[in-house]
Amino acid sequence: MSLALDLFSIAAISAGVFFFLAGTVGLLRFPDALSRLHALTKADNLGLGLIVLGLLPRAESLLAALMLVAIWALVQLAGATAAQLIGRAVRRKGPAI
């Protein structure tokens, strides 16, 4: 059982690393600011989400697990807000602001 959980953790965390890598590559390679913003939000949601998912079986208590989920949820809120704000700023003033 513990081996299965470890494998689950490794799979989820590796997938999370992949999304961080994808987000960074997108940020560097995509042609315009709004596409780059799109790449960024994937790392925010899925990257951190998958890592939290992978760490959940290793949490010491239910409270610690809930804390991990709460951190993820807060980053979601922050990421979504920041993306909206930056996106509106880009649309309003052009990408050079």
Partner 1 sequence: MSDFLLATAGAILFTVAVGLVRILGGPGDADRMMAAQLIGTGGIASLLLIAAATGARGVDDVALGLAILAAFASAAFVNSGAPAEEPDPNPADDR
Partner 2 sequence: MSVLQALDVGLAFLVFAVAAWTVFAPGPFAATVGYVVYGLLLSLVWIRLFAVDVALTEAAIGSGVTGVLLIGAAARLRGAETTPAEEALTGLTRLFAAGLCLLVAAALAAVVLLLPDQGPTLAPQSMERLPETGLGNPVTAVLIAFRSFDTMLEKVVLVLGVVGVWSLAADRYWGGAPGEARAERPEPTLAFFAQVLAPIGILVGVHVFWVGADEPGGAFQGGAILAAMWMIVMMARLTEAPQASAFWLRLALIAGPAVFLAAGVAGAVVAGGFFAYPPGLAKPLILFIETFMTFTIAVTLPMLVAGPPRREPRR
Q: Is 7 in the site for partner 1 (CB under 8 A)?
A: no
Cβ pair 16, 47 in contact under 8 A: yes
Q: Is 14 in the site for partner 2 (CB under 8 A)?
A: no
Exactly one of 5, 17, 58, 84 binds partner 2 (CB under 8 A); which one? 84
Q: Which stretch binds partner 2 (CB under 8 A): 4-12, 13-21, 37-45, 76-84?
A: 76-84
The distance of closest approach from Cβ of residue 83 to partner 2 in the complex, given in angstroms and rounded to an integer, is 9
Q: Which amino acid is at 69?
A: V
Q: What is the dihedral of CA 7, 21, 50, 38, to 10 degrees?
A: -160
